[in-house]
Amino acid sequence: MTGPGEKKRIPRHVAIIMDGNGRWARQRGLPRLEGHRAGAERVRPITTTAADLGVEYLTLYTFSTENWRRPRHEISGLMRYLRQYLKNELPTMMKNNVRFQTIGHLADLSPGVRKELKRTKQATADNDGLTLVLALNYGGREEIVRAARLLAARVQKAELQPEQIDETLLAAALYTGGMPDPDLLIRTSGEMRLSNFLLWQASYTELVVTEVLWPDFAPRDLEKAIEEFNRRSRRFGGRPGEEEEAEC
């Protein structure tokens, strides 16, 4: 917790559940896809603000494994906006030194989307500023099952003994292997659940829920969430009065 005159802690990794696009559109009498279009336009200012503040990783919950249940035209529209975003934002990513990454099972996405994702990753691979991570066809439970299977395969090949499997090995086998766990997870639109997002990684993440719908989420709202983060005492299971410094 910071006091007067103390330096503000900047979370090293911020994750956001971008919720409320459909509600935003419904409130305005617009089709749901208009809400998704407006939501896509929020990514640039939030990414830029995060980079300016010194955040190292920004992970956005873009398309979950459960989202395939939505109407086909809505899914097609979402994928179209994703491709447009990648094409339009690449120059901005390069200008701002942003490295682009994804987490999730990409094989189920269309060839056109996968091609654009690969192109953006390759183009930004040498950038060393903020890492922007889109969670695409991502589910936390599926991620953990996948990691368990990878480790089981190593055991089957005699590369690993079962008793050697620990939290470090399992974490390395997740999609996020090599990334720090999120310090701060923000959910927009007021819903109070994780929705199968970063279940392993969020064990000690600070949660901030805002009533602001994602298409209305502004840089100031991100700054407010970080201010709330700074009011928290992060003990990581310790006793009150034994606060540990976050790895920020």
- Rounded to the nearest 10 degrees, the angle between the axes of helix 43-53 and helix 219-231 is 40
Structure letter (DSSP) for residue 181: P
3-state secondary structure of 57: strand
Q: Would you name the residues annotated as active-site residues?
A: 19, 67
Residue given tokens 């499997």 in the structure block: 165
Q: Provide the β-strand partners of residue 15.
A: 59, 185
Tell me which residue of 50, 103, 60, 54 sits closest to 85, measured CA to CA.
60
Structural element, H or E, at residue 86: helix 72-95
